[in-house]
């Protein structure tokens, strides 16, 4: 019986991470990747591993997902998430959540317990009640850093790498050779109410296919949407490119074609790892063969 060597990679967002937040960001992704690895090393599934890793970051206020989500122009939270099973190509996504503690858990319910792929707004919130996914108040979701970020944004009225903390995500390969991806975000500071970025869109915020690999993206959502960044990486890999070369080529294409910045993590079907970014920084961590690696700079 074929046994793959498990691997997991996580990211905590690609943006202009301030120097004073570097250590906390690295500690956060290292904790998240360990949570996922606990599951993989005991024979657990890639799906369970990416959910555990993303849950860890949704609970960590240093990241823009779950607790720590940034604010719209109205001062409200709107969260999105996506999960995909590379074995079946089943996927689940949610958008515009206002009070769900773990958006990635709700996305998984959409994938496994409904015939749908993407649920938004009130309908998604009703599902949270139906499947007993924990709710949380906006006051509990919002940090002082998020309030400060909106105040600064309202003063300048322009987007930039200092606003928002971008997205979190994870990709994993389990011992059975199955691959999964999960991505979760609290959006970007100062976005219009109702704006949806790349995260819940299959092929943009993430994609997983056992025959090729898996990707989770982060960065300027509108740019990622325009080039279908996650699927673009896998398309390059299908031509024979290594996962790292495909990562760099896809990010380069997005920069040239739509002048967009971002980052991504990826694995191929054999567990080889790729990661890259065109922003100032991207925080990431990986575990393979029980060896943990992490980084934040190029």
| Six token digits for residue 127 | 């599902």
Of residues 143, 167, 185, 218, which has the active-site annotation? Answer: 167
Domains of the chain, start order = 7-86+142-281 (3.60.20.30)
Say how far apart CA 265 and CA 258 lie, in whole Å: 20
70-74-75-80 Cα dihedral, nearest 10 degrees: -30
Say how far apart CA 203 and CA 92 lie, in whole Å: 12
CB burial class (10 A; 0-12, 13-18, 19+) of residue 260?
buried
With a cut of 70, list the residues of the chain below it in pLDDT.
Answer: 1-2, 157-165, 298
Over residues 147-204, the pLDDT tens digits come to: 888 888 888 765 544 444 579 999 999 999 999 999 999 988 888 999 999 999 999 9
**Paired residues of 202 in beta bridges:** 206
Say how far apart CA 37 and CA 246 lie, in whole Å: 25
Over residues 28-46, the pLDDT tens digits come to: 999 999 999 999 999 999 9
Residue 76 is a catalytic residue: no
H-only helix segments in the chain = 22-40, 46-58, 103-113, 121-130, 138-141, 144-156, 221-227, 229-238, 243-258
DSSP-assigned letters across all residues of 140-206: HH--HHHHHHHHHHHHH----TTS---EEEEEEE-TTS-EEEEEEE---TTPPTT---STTSBTTTE
**Paired residues of 167 in beta bridges:** 185
Q: What pLDDT score does 30 carry?
A: 98
Q: Which pTM value belongs to this model?
A: 0.95
**Contacting residues for 235 by C-beta, under 8 A, at least 6 apart:** none
Q: What pLDDT score does 278 carry?
A: 95
């Amino acid at each position: 019986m074929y046994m793959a060597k498990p691997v997991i990679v996580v990211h905590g967002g690609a943006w202009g991470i301030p120097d004073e937040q570097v250590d906390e960001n690295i500690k956060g992704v290292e904790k998240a990747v360990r949570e996922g690895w606990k599951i993989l090393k005991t024979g657990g599934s890639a799906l369970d591993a990416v959910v555990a890793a993303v849950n860890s970051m949704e609970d960590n206020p240093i990241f823009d997902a779950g607790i720590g989500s940034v604010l719209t122009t109205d001062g409200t939270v709107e969260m999105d998430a996506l999960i995909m099973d590379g074995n079946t190509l089943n996927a689940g996504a949610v958008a515009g959540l206002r009070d769900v503690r773990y958006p990635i858990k709700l996305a998984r319910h959409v994938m496994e317990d409904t015939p749908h792929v993407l649920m938004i707004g009130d309908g998604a919130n009703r599902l949270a009640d139906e499947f007993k996914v924990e709710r949380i108040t906006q006051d509990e979701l919002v940090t002082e850093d998020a309030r400060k970020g909106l105040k600064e944004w309202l003063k300048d009225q322009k987007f930039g790498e200092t606003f928002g903390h971008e997205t979190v995500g994870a990709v994993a390969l389990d011992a059975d050779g199955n691959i999964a991806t999960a991505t979760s975000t609290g959006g970007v500071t100062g976005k219009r109410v109702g704006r949806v970025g790349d995260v819940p869109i299959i092929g943009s915020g993430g994609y997983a296919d056992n025959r090729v690999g898996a990707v989770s993206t982060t960065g300027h959502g509108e740019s990622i949407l325009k080039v279908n960044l996650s699927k673009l990486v896998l398309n390059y890999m299908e031509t024979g490119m290594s996962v790292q070369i495909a990562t760099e080529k896809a990010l380069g294409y997005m920069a040239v074609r739509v002048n967009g910045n971002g980052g991504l993590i990826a694995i191929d079907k054999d567990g080889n790892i790729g990661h890259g970014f065109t922003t100032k920084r991207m925080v990431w961590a990986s575990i393979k063969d029980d060896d943990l690696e992490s980084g934040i700079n190029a």
